Amino acid sequence: MKLSACCLVTLAVSLSFIAAAGDWPQWRGPDGNGISKETGWTTKWPAEGPKRLWTAKVGVGFASFSVSKGRVYTTGNQDDTDTIFCFDANTGREIWKHSYPEKLDPKYYEGGTSATPTVDGDRVYCLSKQGQLFCLDAAKGTVIWSQNVAKELKAKLPTWGSAGSVLIEGNMALLNVGTSGAALDKNTGKVIWSSGPEEAGYSTPVTFNLRGERCVALAGKADIFTVRLKDGSEVWRHPWKTQYDVNAADPILSGHTMFIGSGYGHGCALLDISGTPPKVVWENKNLRTHLSPAVLIGDHLYGADDDCYKPDATFRCVELKTGKVKWSEKTGYVSLMAADGKLIALTARGELLVVEPTPEAFRPISRAQVIGGKCWTTPVLANGKIYCRNAAGEVVCLDVSGK
């Protein structure tokens, strides 16, 4: 059977789309909400858990994974040196790595890298704790441009260093650096706009539409900010003071509302952002998302209620509109994502859980101990594989393709 040139092009485009459909190119996935569009992966595991395809050691850190075009990216620190790694997603073969001096900086925890690499087309962006920003060739690892944005913007670094990942929108590389963020030209690193010099929070920027304008939401040192994408001008700020100035979880948008949460005894709130300033719909301590954001599915939030790394942290379901707890399970701390109508969670002890996202009860579908050590990093499902890591930098790639 002969195919016309038009058909071949159409077929090639279709196959390319299929291949990329399961990619996870940035922190919280392609839509920045912790939800993958991937379907067809299996939850039927043997007693010992999914098959281990490969393992690697990347050094100390808590960065998650980005997956694009058959390559997986993460970071770690060893001997006061940060390294950005690029592996073959199927085999674990190291394709390239880029290293640079950076202190481990273990303040009350292991230290190491925090931000997750961001893939945009043929480039990958990564921000270090000390504000060193790299734009690298995604296939080769060569440096296209780099600069210390904290020094460039004369911005104070927060106590535990920059932790928010780079968010690419249009020609902008958006950063949670400075009082309420900054935007650089993604092609050159030139500053497009910046905010004040005060310490940032630890969240990753989130973009959304507000009354006809494209805006950016992020957690600052003691406030939740919304600024205009085009110039960084402030739309509003909501006071959100937390002990030690730790606001780390990304805001979650839903219609005309925004969910925010922090640990250290503060709690969480739902804001009505239809007007300026926003109004508090409810506020309580039912879902203290201390490190990782919750995932919103339907009308309910799923995540860890974790005051401050305490062993009594629980996996919870909370109703968005009321803030009421629907169920609470004593799993300890969990970080999670969702795909194909299921939650994928990794506990602090390295147990991988697949859970039905229902407000009726905690309903695990599959569970297996897949890695040891301390695990605070969000697992990632991409193209039939789940990637997990621990604080020491041990990485495991699990086969859930069902093939």
Q: What is the pLDDT of residues 111-143, one digit of tens each?
A: 999 999 999 999 999 999 999 999 999 999 999
Q: Could you give the CA distance from residue 292 to residue 28 in angstroms, rounded to a whole number?
A: 10
8 A C-beta contact, residue 48 and residue 101: no
Q: Could you give the CA distance from residue 218 to residue 250 in angstroms, rounded to a whole number?
A: 7
Separation in Å, CA 77 to CA 64, 97, 125, 136:
14, 12, 17, 18
pLDDT band, residue 246 (cuts 50/70/90): very high
Where b means 16+ CB within 10 Å and e means fewer, 56-81 reads: bebbbbbbbbbbbeebbbbbbbbeee
Residue 309 has a pLDDT of 66
Q: Collect all residues with Cβ–Cβ distance below 8 Å to 130 and sequence separation of at least 6.
A: 102, 103, 148, 150, 157, 161, 162
pLDDT score of 275 more than 80: yes
* Mean predicted confidence (pLDDT) in 152-166: 97
Q: Tell me the two tokens of residue 389.
A: 């890591």
* Mean predicted confidence (pLDDT) in 8-22: 42
Q: Could you give the CA distance from residue 138 to residue 122 in angstroms, rounded to a whole number?
A: 5
User: 13 vs 389, which has greater pLDDT?
Assistant: 389
pLDDT score of 394 more than 80: yes
pTM (2 d.p.): 0.94
- Helix then strand count (H, E) for the chain reads 2, 33
* Mean predicted confidence (pLDDT) in 210-222: 97
Residue 179 has a pLDDT of 97
Residue 130 has a pLDDT of 98
* Mean predicted confidence (pLDDT) in 2-25: 48
Flag the least confident range among 20-24, 201-205, 394-398.
20-24
The pLDDT mean for the chain works out to 94
Flag the least confident range among 17-21, 58-62, 226-230.
17-21
pLDDT score of 186 more than 60: yes
Q: Tell me the two tokens of residue 223.
A: 């406030």
Q: Tokens 């093939």 belong to which residue?
A: 403
pLDDT band, residue 209 (cuts 50/70/90): very high
Flag the least confident range among 6-20, 94-108, 248-262, 291-305.
6-20
Residue 8 has a pLDDT of 34
Percent of residues, the chain, with pLDDT higher than 70: 94
Closest CA to 132 of 107, 103, 111, 106: 103
pLDDT band, residue 1 (cuts 50/70/90): very low
Phi, psi of 236 (to 5 degrees): -160, 165
Q: What is the pLDDT of residues 305-351, one digit of tens each?
A: 998 766 789 999 999 999 999 999 999 999 999 999 999 999 999 99
8 A C-beta contact, residue 349 and residue 332: yes
* Mean predicted confidence (pLDDT) in 290-310: 92
Q: Is 103 helix (H, G, I), strand (E, B) or coil?
A: coil
Q: What is the pLDDT of residues 41-79, one digit of tens each?
A: 999 999 999 999 999 999 999 999 999 999 999 999 999
Percent of residues, the chain, with pLDDT higher than 90: 92
